[in-house]
């Protein structure tokens, strides 16, 4: 297997995550144009994508992200202003990046991106930033000795001190200028490779531009490095020539310094105060720091490690007045120099470690280690835990039958361990709904512009966790609901203003936990649903007769919008009007074992609620018996249960109604609905009160078997779709239980 194939899956996962970051942060930058944090996040994401694309050999992807970085750099430098045109262009680039990545995933060639790159290079989006490679200002700069090239950078006094000391110890001090090729995609990577190669044969004491600027690619196509080494010029060239995308290498060795400067004391004092910033060879720093004038300027932390005799001398007293004092001075010099050396070596090691680290400098918090695991392996683990749950139930039944205390104790312990394993595995399957929610701000923005509506999407509860299998499945229903809210729900800005509302419409996307359910809500502050119009449309579509439509309650009328082919729009558009979207929402929600609820107030808006179980794998259920068959009702839908004989039951309009706590409760006989035979074998005994959203009903069963965790198994395609059944489960004694779909029964 070649390297590209080996890492393609990881590359695709990382790239898609980066695209989501780019989308989110560009939208954030559009509304908060001075947000430097968002800009930095975009820059880091684009830089990472460019790096991994170039590593994998996807040239078009790397080229486009490279030019995106140029535009971002121009924004950073104040050469471009964030406006609607620029954010549209950047989002268009992100869309193209997504297309390239999907083509790569499908094994298709990368599309051409030259036209988009040309748009990025229009006036105002410079291809390179050429004037950012200036040396930092220092106190009293000293020009380097005359050289054949007058453009070599200058050295400050401390750098000259280090260079002179290095030359006195037979080191060569060499300026090396690197020119990269014009189409270099990874300037920061090439600069890092140059620095890393040079540090293997010496010490880099200066870089122009500075190392952080090199890492962030804040330079044009050339940079210079001052190297202290004993390597020959040919050896240096040989090392650098092994690095790709280098166009030219120029070298200039500094002439020997006879004197550091006219004012030796000032130079050495400056050298001491700058010592903490040095990246010079430790032995050179040691020698410079040992000079008496330097020692006196060492910082307090270092001075405390030296011999204290120096500090105790009277003012004006010469430390060379006696052999003993001279000896103390020499010892102090040596101790101070050693302290300087230790400190600089430590700081130098930290710099190198930071240079090799891919973690941003500001991320100083501890990051928990993570491991990528394929979804197939996780699903296999869940299936094995499901088998353990089934066996646990069987063991518990055997223990109850045999009544052997020793076995019962062991089985209880095993049951506890299996429950803990089950809880951990279920937690592994849970993912935050943010993975889905983060897709929608871009869609809402674009659709609002298309319909000339000012829309704001407000997201709440994105940290709410949901089963991994549901995360992707629920995306389409939420997409349909949001599109409907924008198209049908929100009024045009002028209309909203006339009715006393703000011109900007709000759409709320919420998620939260309620018991064993996850509640997803899509709410708008628009015009609401006209119930009478819904009824008229139902008559037009021949779904109901005029009299039946008139008898519909508001809730029943609102439920009609989920009917296949139903729409309140007179003409279909590219967005809505074909009666497909809401039907798809209901079908997908029911397939996930969930339920729908709708609430609308004319002139104030509409709220549609999706109620989903936490997981599709293992759920607690109430086992009931109807005839000679076992049916499982998810506990999350059950309010309570009652003996049938304790309820006062009446028949109203050919429907059974029970009076429970002063409220009427419609009854549903499962034996009739499910066509269960042997209805006379067992007399009716219990009523299970089930609630889905705002709807309640009492399910009449023959007997309550008991509560039990069941492993959901899908129904085979050979059997086909079974009405009111969401899945099956195997009980501990080997019998089959059918899991009821409470939402379709009510």
* Residues assigned a catalytic role: 47, 69, 484
Q: Can you tell me whether residue 382 is helix, strand or coil?
A: helix
Question: To the nearest 5 percent, what fractions of the chain are helix, strand and coil?
Answer: 45, 20, 35
The residue whose two tokens read 């490779």 is: 193
Q: What's the rounded Cα separation, in Å, for the pair 592 and 741?
A: 10
CA distances from 171 to 163, 202, 231 (A): 9, 9, 9
529, 522 contact by CB (below 8 A): no
How would you label 704-732 residue by residue, b for 16+ Cβ within 10 Å and e otherwise?
bbeebbbbbeeeeeeeeeeeebbbbbbbb
The residue whose two tokens read 């720091």 is: 289
Q: How many residues does the chain have?
A: 746
Task: Could you list the beta-strand ranges (E) of 614-719.
Answer: 618-626, 629-634, 638-643, 648-652, 655-660, 663-669, 686-692, 695-701, 703-711
CA distances from 125 to 217, 319, 474 (A): 16, 64, 40
Q: What's the rounded Cα separation, in Å, for the pair 297 and 94?
A: 54
Q: Can you tell me whether residue 465 is helix, strand or coil?
A: strand
Q: What's the rounded Cα separation, in Å, for the pair 696 and 499?
A: 37
Among the residues of 503-574, which ranges form H helices? Answer: 531-540, 546-551, 554-559
Residues whose CB is less than 8 angstroms from the CB of residue 214 and which lie 6 or more positions away in sequence, other chains included? 188, 191, 192, 195, 207, 223
Phi, psi of 81 (to 5 degrees): -110, 135
Beta bridge partners of 652: 655
Phi, psi of 382 (to 5 degrees): -65, -40
Task: Could you list the beta-strand ranges (E) of 490-594.
Answer: 505-514, 517-524
Q: Which has the closest alpha carbon to 432: 386, 490, 471?
A: 471
Edge-to-edge order in the sheet of strand 725-730: 703-711, 618-626, 629-634, 736-740, 725-730
CA distances from 144 to 162, 231, 258, 658, 673 (A): 13, 21, 13, 99, 96
174, 183 contact by CB (below 8 A): no
Q: Which has the closest alpha carbon to 90: 120, 55, 126, 50?
A: 120
Q: What's the rounded Cα separation, in Å, for the pair 283 and 294?
A: 15
DSSP for 51-65, please give it: HHHHHHT-HHHHHHH
549, 539 contact by CB (below 8 A): yes
Q: Which helix (H) or strand (E) is 276 found in, with range? A: none
CB atoms within 10 A of CB 539: 15
Q: What's the rounded Cα separation, in Å, for the pair 450 and 686?
A: 56
Q: Which helix (H) or strand (E) is 407 found in, with range? A: helix 405-429
Token digits for 460? 């709440």
Token digits for 610? 């999706």
Q: Residues 337, 342, 347, 353: is their CA dihedral positive or negative? A: positive
């Amino acid at each position: 297997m070649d390297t590209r194939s080996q890492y393609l899956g990881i590359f695709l996962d990382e790239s898609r995550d980066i695209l989501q970051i780019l989308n989110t942060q560009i939208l954030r930058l559009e509304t908060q144009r001075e947000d430097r944090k968002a800009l930095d996040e975009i820059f880091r994401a684009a830089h990472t994508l460019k790096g991994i694309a170039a590593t994998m050999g996807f040239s078009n992807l790397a080229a486009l992200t490279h030019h995106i970085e140029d535009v971002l750099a121009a924004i950073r430098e104040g050469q471009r202003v964030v406006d609607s045109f620029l954010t549209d262009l950047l989002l268009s680039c992100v869309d193209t990046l997504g297309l390239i990545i999907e083509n790569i995933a499908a094994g298709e060639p990368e599309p051409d991106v030259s036209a988009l790159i040309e748009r990025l290079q229009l006036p105002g989006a410079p291809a390179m930033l050429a004037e950012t490679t200036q040396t930092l200002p220092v106190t009293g700069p000293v020009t380097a000795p005359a050289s054949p090239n007058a453009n070599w950078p200058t050295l400050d006094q401390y750098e000259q001190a280090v260079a002179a000391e290095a030359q006195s110890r037979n080191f060569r001090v060499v300026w090396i200028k690197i020119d990269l090729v014009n189409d270099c995609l990874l300037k920061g990577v090439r600069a890092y490779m140059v620095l890393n190669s040079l540090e293997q044969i010496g010490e880099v004491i200066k870089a122009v531009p500075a190392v952080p600027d090199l890492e962030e690619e804040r330079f044009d196509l050339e940079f210079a490095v001052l190297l202290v080494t004993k390597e020959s010029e040919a050896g240096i060239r040989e090392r650098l020539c092994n690095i790709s995308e280098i166009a030219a290498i120029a070298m200039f060795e500094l002439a020997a310094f006879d004197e550091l400067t006219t004012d030796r004391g000032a130079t050495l004092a400056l050298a001491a105060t700058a010592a903490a910033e040095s990246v010079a060879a430790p032995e050179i720093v040691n020698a410079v720091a040992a000079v008496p004038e330097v020692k006196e300027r060492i910082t307090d932390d270092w001075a405390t490690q030296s011999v204290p005799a120096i500090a105790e001398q009277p003012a004006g007293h010469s430390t060379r007045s006696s052999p003993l004092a001279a000896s103390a001075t020499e010892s102090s010099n040596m101790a101070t120099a050693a302290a300087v050396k230790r400190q600089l070596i430590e700081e130098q090691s930290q710099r190198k470690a930071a240079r090799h680290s891919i973690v941003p400098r500001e991320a100083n918090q501890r990051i928990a280690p993570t491991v990528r695991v394929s979804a197939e392996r996780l699903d296999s683990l869940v299936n094995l835990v499901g088998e353990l749950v089934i066996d646990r139930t069987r063991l518990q039944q055997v223990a109850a039958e045999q009544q052997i205390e020793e076995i019962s104790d062991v089985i209880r312990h095993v049951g506890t361990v299996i429950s803990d394993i089950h809880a951990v595995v279920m937690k592994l399957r849970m993912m935050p709904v943010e993975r889905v929610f983060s897709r929608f701000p871009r869609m809402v923005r674009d659709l609002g512009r298309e319909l000339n509506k000012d829309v704001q999407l407000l997201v709440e509860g994105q940290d709410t966790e949901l089963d991994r299998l549901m995360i992707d499945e629920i995306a389409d229903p939420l997409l349909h609901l949001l599109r409907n809210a924008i198209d049908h729900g929100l009024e045009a800005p002028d209309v909203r203003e006339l009715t006393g509302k703000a011109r900007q419409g709000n759409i709320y996307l919420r998620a939260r936990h309620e018991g064993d359910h996850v509640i997803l809500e899509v709410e708008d502050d628009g015009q609401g649903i006209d119930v009478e119009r819904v009824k008229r449309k139902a008559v037009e579509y021949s779904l109901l007769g005029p009299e039946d439509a008139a008898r519909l309650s508001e809730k029943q009328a609102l439920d009609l919008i989920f009917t296949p082919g139903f729409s309140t729009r007179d003409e279909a558009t590219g967005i809505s009007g074909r009666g497909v979207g809401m039907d798809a929402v209901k079908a997908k929600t029911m397939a996930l074992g969930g339920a729908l609820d709708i609430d609308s107030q004319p002139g104030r808006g509409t709220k549609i609620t999706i109620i989903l179980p936490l997981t599709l794998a293992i759920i607690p259920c109430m086992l009931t018996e109807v005839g000679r068959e076992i049916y499982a009702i998810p506990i999350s839908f059950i309010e309570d249960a009652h003996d049938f004989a304790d309820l006062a039951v009446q028949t109203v309009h050919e429907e059974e109604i029970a009076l429970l706590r002063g409220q009427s409760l419609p009854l549903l006989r499962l034996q009739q609905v499910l066509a269960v035979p042997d209805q006379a074998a067992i007399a009716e005994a219990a009523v299970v009160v089930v609630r889905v959203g705002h709807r309640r009903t009492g399910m009449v069963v023959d007997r309550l078997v008991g509560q039990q965790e069941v492993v959901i198994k899908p129904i085979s395609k050979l059997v086909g779709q079974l009405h009111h059944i969401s899945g099956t489960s195997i009980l501990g004694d080997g019998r089959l239980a059918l899991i009821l779909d409470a939402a379709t029964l009510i």
